[in-house]
């Protein structure tokens, strides 16, 4: 039996894993949750596309196998999240995938930039995935139960991805002088993007307040960014990396916490990226569209088979 709720009731009851498809949620909640989960799902897919070439480019069989497994994991996370979003009844999985291919679907800023060399891989595998873990761990308490359940699996596997990224970082930081120099250059290029991973500053965030009121998320962008800095800046030092002069990072001796001078970050570029208008990101989207078109015949064949057999699978038919 469906339990009908208005928005005020939702805000009063909002808590970890409080709502599920058995609840008749107000449209405002369903739209906000769909937007949030679809964005997350798109990011998983586009992250996999960014790392897929390194299955071949990896310098050893062990690394190739690890990247193959990681890409498979990320694509699986995307599909899991599309189903969690689909359970809200606003969009189908197919509609969300089409929006991604058409450039209408939004995804994380870091996955708009190309990653061209092996030296860059720990920037995603350790720092970006580490930032993702900070955010995703809090989403295990999301009020939309299918999303929270999906996060249980996602966080478990992302933990291994971070360890793999740290393994590559450690190996490169102990490598030749040239490798160390290239690693530092890659870090300086990616560091501002990594800090912007958590989204705009709280005063510029347009979705947080409502999402927090209905329990979809718990922490603000700035809170998550600060927690990431506090955890990862000691690791930056551990692996011999030097912070670039900008953006300026400040340390408060009284609280023992780090903060970033956010005026040093290029927020104009960030918001251009958010609208899918940044050229590297457009290239990523076009690649996704070409891939989707290339396998359209598979989907059409499966749809035709299902229509002709009433949904009976070959195994069942046998």
Cβ proximity of 140 and 216 under 8 Å: no
- Measuring CA to CA, which residue among 86, 74, 92, 205 is closest to residue 136? 74
Both tokens assigned to 221: 């962008």
Residue 52 dihedral angles phi and psi, to the nearest 5°:
-55, -40
Radius of gyration of the chain (CA): 21
How far is Cα 130 from Cα 132, in angstroms, rounded to an integer?
5
Non-local CB neighbours of 170 within 8 Å, separated by 6+ positions: 239
Residue 249: cis peptide before it, omega within 30 degrees of 0: no
Q: How many distinct helices (H) and strands (E) make up the chain?
A: 15, 4
Non-local CB neighbours of 162 within 8 Å, separated by 6+ positions: 125, 126, 129, 130, 133
How far is Cα 84 from Cα 76, in angstroms, rounded to an integer?
12
- Measuring CA to CA, which residue among 144, 133, 206, 197 is closest to residue 166? 133
Q: What's the confidence (pLDDT) of residue 316? A: 47
Both tokens assigned to 232: 């990862």
Task: Please say whether the structural domain 3-317 has been given the CATH code 1.20.1260.10.
Answer: yes
The structure's pTM equals 0.88
Compute mean pLDDT per 10 residues along the chain, 318 residues long, and list them: 79 94 94 96 93 94 95 96 96 93 90 92 96 94 96 94 96 96 97 93 83 93 92 94 92 85 89 78 66 70 77 53
Burial of 183 (0-12, 13-18, 19+ CB in 10 A): buried
Degrees, nearest 5: CA angle 83-75-160: 110
Cβ proximity of 250 and 264 under 8 Å: no
């Amino acid at each position: 039996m469906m339990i009908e709720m208005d928005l005020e009731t939702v805000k009063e009851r909002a808590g970890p894993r409080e709502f599920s498809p058995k609840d008749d949620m107000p449209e405002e909640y369903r739209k906000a949750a769909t937007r949030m989960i679809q964005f997350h799902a798109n990011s998983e897919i586009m992250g996999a596309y960014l790392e897929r070439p390194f299955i071949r480019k990896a310098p050893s069989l062990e690394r190739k196998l690890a990247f193959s497994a990681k890409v498979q994991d990320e694509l699986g996370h995307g599909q899991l999240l599309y189903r969690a979003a689909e359970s809200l009844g606003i969009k189908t999985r197919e509609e969300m995938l089409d929006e991604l291919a058409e450039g209408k679907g939004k995804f994380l800023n870091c996955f708009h930039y190309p990653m061209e060399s092996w030296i860059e891989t720990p920037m995603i595998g350790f720092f970006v995935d580490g930032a993702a873990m900070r955010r995703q761990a809090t989403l295990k308490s999301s009020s939309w139960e299918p999303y929270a359940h999906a996060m249980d699996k996602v966080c478990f596997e992302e933990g291994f991805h971070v360890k793999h990224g740290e393994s590559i970082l450690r190996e490169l930081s102990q490598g030749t002088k040239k490798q160390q120099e290239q690693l530092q250059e890659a870090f300086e290029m990616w560091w501002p993007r990594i800090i912007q991973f958590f989204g705009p500053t709280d005063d510029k965030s347009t979705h947080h307040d409502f999402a927090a009121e209905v329990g979809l998320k718990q922490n603000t962008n700035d809170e998550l960014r600060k927690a990431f800095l506090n955890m990862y800046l000691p690791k930056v030092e551990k692996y011999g990396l030097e912070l670039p002069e900008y953006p300026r990072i400040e340390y408060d001796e009284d609280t023992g916490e780090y903060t970033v001078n956010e005026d040093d970050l290029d927020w104009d570029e960030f918001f251009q990226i958010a609208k899918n208008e940044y050229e590297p990101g457009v290239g990523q989207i076009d690649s996704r569209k070409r891939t989707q078109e290339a396998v359209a015949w598979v989907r059409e064949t499966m749809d035709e088979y299902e229509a002709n057999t009433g949904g009976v699978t070959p195994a069942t038919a046998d």
